[in-house]
Structure 1
Amino acid sequence: MGMGYLATHWRGQQPLTRAFWVNGLAVRLVVYAALALLTSAQPLPKAFMFVAIAVDLIVMVWQSVGYFRTAEHGLSGSSSMLPLWGGIVALIVAVAVMLSQWWGLVLAANAPPPDELYSAKMDRIRAAQYELSVDDAQQAVRFKGELTHGVTKRMSALLTKYPDLSAVHLDSPGGNIFEARGVAKLIVSAGLDTHVVQTCSSACTIIFMAGSKRTAHPDARLGFHGYALMDAARLPQFDVKAEQDRDRRFFVAQGVSDVFAARIYDRPNRDIWFPSRAELLDGNVLTQGP
């Protein structure tokens, strides 16, 4: 449509049938289709929403004013009010549809992000329970927090990315023994040393024992107790004593004395044994002094 065409409709100088069927209905259907297409895009940029609503409003005003001016010109030569009333009814319907589409645009522009996958959500929740980072100055991996599902996978990726690391620094109350075993295998395979920063208890001690050299801060503590597997009821084939014996054998294979290894699971899970530094050195849990 040229500017002259737009102007003649605005002034009501076009035939009534064209003003209604072409400039009114046909143009409105095109606008509706365009708005529906925009609404399907989620999230819709807010700038697009405002521009679309503004353009739609301008088109509606142009259509309505032009049509009613054309209808008024026709009334001078006819006594029929049908074009006027028909235009009013059509305008009401058009405005109702227009407002509903505007609301659709608003919703599209404020659409929430796509639902997070359950697996991704669980990974995010678990990852928030610990910190895993690299200390370049000491060429060490720092792990702090609870051992949850996914730790082994992230540790493996970190060791692959930083092949020159030489140690793992631990500060953990424990957690999942299967993840602890996975991390321990990585440490043994890479020949890394382990060091306790503050506390290393329960499943964390499995990781600590994987170190080629095992050290601890003078004020650090290592804690040992028996396993309490909350999922054991759902795993009838799981033998808690057998799992403890398996890890006890790993401790002995890493150089821990038989006397010390015999005591590591004596305390029930609700309690914990923190050996003295002398006991840790005598039992070869620590391979070096302060």
Structure 2
Amino acid sequence: MLAGKSGNYIADHWYGRQSLAWSFWVNLVLLRALVFIGQDWFSPVKGSDYSTHSTLVFLLAIFFHGIFFVWQLVGVFRAGAVHIGARGSMANIWGAQLGAIVAFWLTATYAFGAWQMTLPAPDDKAFQARIEIERASKFSFVPSADGQNLEFTGSIELGISKHFARQLKLYPNLRTIVLSSTGGNIYEARGLSKMIRENGLNTLVRSLCTSACTTVFIGGLSRELMPNAQLGFHQYRIDATYSVLNADVSAEQERDRMLYAAANVKPWFLMQMFASRSDEMWFPEIDELLDAGVVTRALDASPPR
């Protein structure tokens, strides 16, 4: 039976005058599926901003996920009551009730999605710019007056290689990179080390260079240490509270051992450099560093800035 005696389709469903099968499969399942498909069809693509139409989206959500959905459910339940009175069978009622529960949770999910459509789309470019500014604030490059020395201070952050590449263009007469850092990102450290090596630059430490900073240091053609300056080595660690896919600390340490081996560092040092735990630090004596070939020259006075 498609319609009741009144001939009003909306009223007939609301008052349970249509059959349970029609009320459930057509008025609930089919029409609800069309609502979901319609929302998926008109949902904004990633990065689009529908917040300018938030009032319209909000009103449509109230109608289709609120008023219209209540009409659907009430009609099914009332048709179920009529079905019991006429046939006394509960099996179809239980099936309809289970379907109504599923429809409710799906509707709640789609209603939440509709609400998200009313929110302004995130500005990915602005967010990325803020991240870049925050990272850049953690390090600095300061050139000497004659443009031959470039002092790097701070943390080795993501994107630092791009900053360093710009410095190389700005100061074509650059000869020495002065390092003062407690480390940071090993991938970026390798990038800096490679650029230093390819440009035939020297490295110098006046005070402290530890962890990933030493990877930058080993890229120098001439590697120099000032009096009381220190190089610190330890095992690598992953600074993340979550599992990082394809992250192998031992493999990363082996890659950096190869960088030291390419710089003619002696085997005994290659075996010792990652012996200390990640929460410890090994500071070799200057004689050890010279003997191993890590440092090529120990200076006795500060060079001019």
Cα distance in 1 between the residues matched to 2:191 and 2:228: 27
Given the superposition, is the C-alpha separation of residues 151 and 283 from structure 1 closer, same or farther in structure 2, using an over 3 Å criterion?
same
Alignment of 1:78-117 (within 5 A): 117=126
Q: Which residue of 1 aligns with 2:185?
A: 176
3-state SS of 1:147 partner: coil
How high is the TM-score relative to the length of structure 2?
0.56
Partner secondary structure for residue 239 of structure 2: coil
Cα shift at 1:277: 0.7
Residues 1:284 and 2:293 are matched in the alignment: yes
Whether contact under 8 Å (2:147, 2:173) holds in the other structure is no
Deviation per residue, 1:226-262 (Å, 9 max, x gap): 0001249543322110110110011011011111111
Bigger Rg over Cα = 1
Distance 1:248 1:138, change over 3 A: same
Aligned residue among 241, 252, 256 for 2:250: 241
4+ runs of 1 displaced by more than 3 Å?
231-234
Cα RMSD of the aligned pairs, angstroms, is 1.8
Q: Percent identity?
A: 36
d(CA) in 2 for partners of 1:172 and 1:248?
20
Contact 1:232–1:238 (CA under 8 A) maintained in structure 2: no
Q: Distance in 1 between matches of 2:265 and 2:243?
A: 33
Number of equivalenced pairs: 177
State the partner residue of 2:260.
251
Residue identity matched to 1:230: D
Does the alignment pair 1:144 with 2:144? no
1:104-142 CA-partner distances (Å, limit 9, x unpaired): xxxxxxxxxx99811111111111111112113361111
Equivalent of residue 137 in structure 2, options 125, 128, 132: 128
**Would you say the 8 A contact 1:194–1:208 is kept in 2?**
yes
What are the Cα deviations for residues 52-78 of structure 1, in whole angstroms up to 9, with x where unaligned? Answer: xxxxxxxxxxxxxxxxxxxxxxxxxxx
Aligned match of 1:209: 218
Q: Flag the 1:242–1:281 CA change in 2: closer, same or farther, 3 A.
A: same
Letter of the aligned partner of 1:261 in structure 2?
A: L
**Conserved in 1, the CA contact under 8 Å of 2:218 and 2:294?**
yes
Q: How far apart are residue 193 of structure 1 and its match?
A: 0.3
Residue in structure 1 matched with residue 280 of structure 2 by the alignment: 271
Contiguous gaps of at least 5 residues in structure 1 = 1-113
Which stretches in structure 2 are left out of the alignment for 5+ residues? 1-122, 300-305
Q: Deviations over 1:167-208 (max 9, x none)?
A: 100000001101101111110110100000210000000000
TM-score when normalising by structure 1: 0.58
Residues 45-56 of structure 1: matches in 2 within 5 Å? none
